[in-house]
Amino acid sequence: MDEQALLGLNPNADARYRQRAMAYFEQLKESQDAWEVCAEALAKGIYNDDHVKFFCFQVLEHQIKFRHAGLSAVQQQLIRETLMKWLQCQVGPEKPFIRNKAAQVFALTFVMEYLTLWPKFFFDILSLVGLNPHGVDIYLRTLMAIDAEVVDRDILHSPEETRRNTLIKDGMREQCIPHLVESWFQILQTYQQSHPELTCQCLEVVGAYVSWIDLNLIANDRFVNLLLSQMSVEELREEACDCLFEIINKGMDPVDKTKLVESLCQVLQSAGFFNVEQEEDVDFLAKFSRLVNGMGQSLVLSWTKLAKAGNVKDAAETLQAVEAKVPLLLQLLVHEDDDISANIVGFCYEYLHVLKQLPQLTDQQKTNIEAVMLAVMKKLTYDDEYNFENEGEDEAMFVEYRKQLKMLLDRLAQVSPELLLEAVRRVFTNTMQNWQTAPFMEVEVAIRLLYMLGEALPASHGAHFSGDTAKTSALQDMMRTLVSCGVSSYQHSSVSLEFFETVVRYDKFFIVEPQHIPNVLMAFLDQRGLRHNSPKVRSRVAYLFSRFVKTLHKHMNAFIEDILTRIQDLLELAPPENGFLAMLTSDDQLFMFETAGVLIVNSECPAERKQALMRSLLLPLMDVFRLLLAKLLQETEEERQASLADCLSHAVGFASRTSKAFSNKQTVKQCGCTEVYRDCMQTFLPALSCPVQRGVLRSSVRSFLHRMIICLEEEVLPFVPAASEHMLKDCEAKDLQEFIPLISQITAKFKTFIYRIQYQLLFVFQTLSECSLTLKMIHLKRGPEFIQFLQQEYLPSLQVSPEISQVRCFL
């Protein structure tokens, strides 16, 4: 071998040696027989350097994976002999990455040769390995690598590979699986004290293979008793749990599955594993919870099959077995460790689904339902360590866990909505009576439960306060308490957010009891909401306030001008040079401008007053826009130009957002606001001719024009020629691409008016014509390349032929 090239395999080697090593690797891969030197090096143990060993295995792997069919019988035999000689020499521990790569090579060789050339693969390995722990390690790693190649469903296989893998599994079942299982038993028995890491590996192998081998080989007294004994060994108990979980998950006859689960449960209970409170190892309990979850779900599946088949007797016995696991389920569900609790949620959900299907619930089942409710309510509660200001991975995991608990709550509502409603009402009422002294997490979860009822007990279009008297009365009482007890003043961001989320979820309540609107409006507008000290709360409240106003604007006529006055400072455009941190972000301000627009447009005041209010809303934007545009034209620093352009873009966006308040029933013309938006047009259009930051400015003004075409109707037409001329002057291809939808919208909407301004639009059509001719010339000169460019840059979503592309481009 090229010793100089091998020096480059060292991670600390310089670039020249590493490059030479890579070239040598490619040479050995492509050569018909040069790889044989690597095989010889492995067989004879010539090199002690781990990186060289790994290199040799990589070369061998390439030959087996990509060139095996082209190898001669002698060369294929050489590969087998090389692997067996290397395995025979395993008297000391290799590095894990060497052992893993060796296992991959063994597995690849097995896949290629087991059905034809090497049917005695496992027998040869087992006879060679014996009880040598280093050899056993390679054997177990090889089994896991074979599982990855042949069985693992997460790996995509071609139809041919799938057929081959099926034949391999069939062959293994017929020829060697019983011998493999016996070897696993011997390994588990022999090494559980001296080499627990090998025992854990073997348990992982059993768990992987049990899904497709004869279960009777594993699910017997000898094997299960051994596994259960290892549940008491600290180093082995977690892997033993996982192995038992895979055994339980094995598909089988429902009656047999029930017997298997019950026999396992009896042994576990006798051994004291059901005494969850006495167990301090949370990692083991998380595994045990997963095992119990698997047993519970298996029993539920068996009951479903038996009930569907009409097997009343066995179905009743299976349901009894399910019910017997509920006390353990509740212990695990309510455990203070969320991972342990989360692992049992699946069984709990399935159990509630069973109860939903029963014609009548027993007293014990009702008691179980209430216990699950209390457990869910308790586990929904934040803990003291939750970081609300800087949410990280732990916080994200709790949010996901809360979503699982919400699924349980929704299922509880389906099983017994009356019980759930009463339980939530009891918790909510008790907490609200003492909210001033209660910890924030209790107050938050009480309001959260009320919020969650909105989805758990669904109502058409949010009509929670009509229909079922018992439900509407309870919800109405709780909402009345929420908005009148003063809890909106609680000094914690989570409580503040939950208060406003709940108020908006049940906004129809205020149609029934509008007398509470003023108090809630004040909560939105003061330091509890839009002026809260938390930016997160302010941002969310801006959106929620918009929704609240849209629903209830008809009940706010008496407060409109007061609201507009109170939010005036929140509507100010924040120029980049003022140095002050704005209360709301520009995205939040969009909601505020839309809210202001909704209040003005839907007020009951005459059109003249609406015009005055809209002008007072938009005039400050126009004034600041003119000022900032003048500054931008004089500014030379690029970063500052970008900041000014963004600010100008926001101003246009805010004005555009107010127009969303108009509708077919309340048009711009009917509200007397035409002149205001015409003034906005005249203010914003000069930005189209700004020589710097053209992309940002043109995009925002173009979006505003789209809105005005909808809102102003023919009043917008006088502005179109000048706007078009500015947008097409010195335009790039992308400008033209974005202009075409605008001109299409104009021509589609104003077919009867367009002839009036046809001469003013002459420039537009001339420009488009010149562009078309230019494009056609480019196509004639460099057709295929040009079409490809257009498809990549401007028609990315269209999978079309060049001929159709040409039609699209030049019609």
Residue 755: the pLDDT is: 53
Residue 490: the pLDDT is: 97
Residues 6+ apart with CB under 8 A from 215: 247, 250, 252
Scan for tokens 């057929």, then name that residue: 163
Scan for tokens 């003492």, then name that residue: 434
pLDDT tens column, 612-661: 999 999 999 999 999 999 999 998 999 999 999 999 999 999 999 999 99
Residue 2: the pLDDT is: 57
* CA 782 to each of CA 773, 777, 799, 811: distance values in angstroms, whole numbers, following the listed order: 14, 9, 21, 19
Residue 783 has pLDDT above 50, yes or no: yes
Name which of 370, 366, 321 is nearest 347 in CA terms.
321
Q: Is 680 left (phi over 0), alpha (psi -120 to 50) or beta?
A: alpha
Name which of 152, 148, 150 is nearest 112 in CA terms.
150
Side chain identity at residue 297, one-letter code: Q
Residue 575: the pLDDT is: 74
Residue 799: the pLDDT is: 45
**pLDDT band for position 127 (50/70/90)?**
very high
Residue 48: the pLDDT is: 87
Residue 806: the pLDDT is: 47
Name which of 737, 748, 686 is nearest 713 in CA terms.
748
How far, in Å, CA of 374 to CA of 394, rounded?
A: 24
Side chain identity at residue 229, one-letter code: S
Most distant CA pair in the chain: distance in Å?
Answer: 99
The percent helix, strand, coil of the chain (3-state, each to 5) is 75, 0, 25
How far, in Å, CA of 797 to CA of 542, rounded?
A: 36
Mean pLDDT of 754-781: 55
Residue 73: the pLDDT is: 94
Name which of 507, 496, 575 is nearest 530 in CA terms.
496
Q: What token pair was written down for 512?
A: 């029934």
Helix extents (H) in 34-95: 36-44, 50-67, 73-88
Burial of 810 (0-12, 13-18, 19+ CB in 10 A): exposed
* CA 263 to each of CA 225, 270, 276: distance values in angstroms, whole numbers, following the listed order: 11, 11, 19
pLDDT tens column, 96-121: 999 999 999 999 999 999 999 999 99
564, 618 Cβ separation under 8 angstroms: no
Whole-model pTM: value is: 0.83
Residue 810 has pLDDT above 50, yes or no: no
How long, in residues, is the chain? 811
Scan for tokens 């246009």, then name that residue: 652
Q: Is 461 left (phi over 0), alpha (psi -120 to 50) or beta?
A: left
How far, in Å, CA of 795 to CA of 247, rounded?
A: 53
How far, in Å, CA of 343 to CA of 559, rounded?
A: 51
Domain boundaries, the chain: 767-811
The alpha carbon dihedral of 513, 518, 521, 527 has a sign of: negative
**Cβ count within 10 A of residue 798:** 11
Residue 288 host element (H or E): helix 282-309
Burial 501-527 (b: 16+ CB within 10 A, else e): bbbbbbbbbbeeeeebbeebbebbbee
Burial of 61 (0-12, 13-18, 19+ CB in 10 A): middle
Mean pLDDT of 44-67: 89
Angle formed by the axes of helices 96-113 and 50-67, nearest 10°: 20
In eight-state DSSP terms, residue 502 is: H
Residue 412 has pLDDT above 80, yes or no: yes
Report percent pLDDT > 90 for the chain.
70
Mean pLDDT of 662-690: 93
Residues 6+ apart with CB under 8 A from 366: 416, 419
How far, in Å, CA of 370 to CA of 233, rounded?
A: 37
556, 605 Cβ separation under 8 angstroms: no
Side chain identity at residue 709, one-letter code: I
How far, in Å, CA of 781 to CA of 792, rounded?
A: 19
How far, in Å, CA of 431 to CA of 448, rounded?
A: 12
Residue 807 has pLDDT above 50, yes or no: no
pLDDT tens column, 364-389: 999 999 999 999 999 999 998 899 98
How far, in Å, CA of 458 to CA of 464, rounded?
A: 8
pLDDT tens column, 559-569: 999 999 999 99
How far, in Å, CA of 56 to CA of 37, rounded?
A: 9
Q: Is 666 left (phi over 0), alpha (psi -120 to 50) or beta?
A: beta
Tell me the pLDDT of the chain averaged across its residues.
Answer: 89
Angle formed by the axes of helices 535-552 and 586-601, nearest 10°: 20
* CA 76 to each of CA 1, 64, 126, 145, 331: distance values in angstroms, whole numbers, following the listed order: 21, 9, 21, 20, 58
Side chain identity at residue 68, one-letter code: H
